[in-house]
């Protein structure tokens, strides 16, 4: 598809957009059907340089930058030294691409090459103002981006510091818990050993009583022997289970602490 901006041969409307790859086209103003070949030929014959430039100026003033640029391009094809048309193309580029720098090449270079000295200075002033605005906008964008990056780094550093403090606090809590469990295991182990010794002594007491008091002392103590054995055995079992449980928990906590380090 190739789009051209032409003049309707029936109503005289300008800026009609037609597809040059089609045999017939339609006027968007009067609705008439025209032959694409004829209207292109007529348009090229009747469209003078000044008329093209007038149409381009009108289109530019109403914000139709595409139509204005197309007419100025046609004008440069009719007159390769028309600096005003080259400058018009540059103006359209500045309007439609406000964030792109204007380089001293292409249409801008052509405008400078053919323009008189006073107009050349004006063109350079406008392009410099356009490029300066873009440079300033880019500088502001860089400063804003650097500020955002600094804020992000500060936030990350604060988060890392908080995470390290929280991790350190968890480590300290785990170490304190492990120390408490080890102390408890030590006390339970001591109690367990004492109960075992007490049970052994309790079992040896009948013989001692017999040696000291004879049969009567042995008989009176023998009735209390099973109860004492039961009590001490129960204590030993309870203490052993508690000691084993706390020791296992302390070992698990130590493994978690080692993994955390």
pLDDT of residue 179: 85
Q: Of the ranges 44-48, 85-89, 249-253, which one carries the lowest mean pLDDT score?
A: 44-48
Does residue 238 contact residue 173 with C-beta atoms inside 8 Å?
no
Q: Are strands 16-19 and 33-35 parallel, antiparallel or unpaired?
A: unpaired
Whether 62 has a pLDDT exceeding 50, the answer reads: yes
Average pLDDT across the chain, whole number: 81
SS3 17: strand
- Please state the φ and ψ torsions of residue 188, each to the nearest 5 degrees: -65, -40
Residue 9 pLDDT > 50: yes
At residue 103, the pLDDT reads: 84
Rounded to an integer, the average pLDDT of 33-59 is 72
Going from N- to C-terminal start, the domains of the chain cover: 3-138, 163-260
Task: Using the predicted structure, report yes or no on whether residue 45 has a pLDDT greater than 50.
Answer: no
> Could you tell me which residues come within 8 angstroms of residue 239 by beta carbon, excluding any fewer than 6 positions away?
188, 191, 192, 195
pLDDT classification of 209: cutoffs 50, 70, 90 = low
Let me know: does 27 contact 13? Beta carbons within 8 Å: yes
On the question of pLDDT at 191 being above 80, the answer is: yes
Overall average pLDDT of the 74-98 stretch? 89
Q: What is the pLDDT of residue 252?
A: 83
The CATH superfamily holding the domain 3-138 is Tetratricopeptide repeat domain (1.25.40.10)
**pTM for the model:** 0.47
Least confident of 88-97, 223-232, 234-243: 223-232
Considering only residues 201 and 129, tell me which one the structure prediction assigns the higher pLDDT: 129
């Amino acid at each position: 598809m190739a789009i051209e901006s032409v003049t309707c041969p029936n109503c005289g409307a300008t800026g009609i957009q037609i597809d040059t790859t089609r045999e017939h086209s339609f006027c968007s103003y009067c609705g008439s059907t025209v032959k694409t070949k004829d209207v292109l030929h007529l348009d090229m014959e009747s469209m003078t340089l000044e008329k093209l430039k007038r149409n381009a100026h009108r289109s530019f003033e109403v914000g139709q930058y595409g139509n204005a640029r197309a007419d100025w391009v046609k004008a440069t094809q009719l007159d390769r030294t028309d600096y005003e048309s080259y400058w018009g193309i540059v103006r359209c580029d500045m309007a439609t691409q406000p964030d792109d720098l204007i380089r001293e090449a292409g249409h801008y270079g052509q405008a400078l090459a053919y323009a008189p000295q006073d107009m050349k200075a004006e063109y350079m002033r406008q392009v410099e103002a356009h490029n300066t605005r873009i440079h300033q906008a880019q500088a502001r964008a860089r400063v804003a981006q650097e500020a955002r990056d600094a804020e992000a780094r500060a936030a990350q550093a604060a988060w890392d510091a908080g995470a390290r403090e929280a991790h350190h606090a968890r480590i300290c809590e785990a170490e304190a818990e492990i120390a408490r469990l080890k102390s408890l295991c030590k006390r339970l182990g001591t109690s367990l050993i004492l109960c075992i010794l007490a049970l052994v002594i309790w079992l040896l007491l009948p013989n001692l009583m017999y040696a000291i008091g004879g049969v009567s002392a042995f008989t009176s103590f023998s009735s209390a022997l099973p109860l004492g054995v039961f009590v001490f055995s129960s204590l030993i079992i309870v203490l052993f289970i508690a000691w084993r449980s706390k020791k296992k928990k302390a070992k698990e906590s130590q493994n978690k602490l080692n993994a955390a380090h």
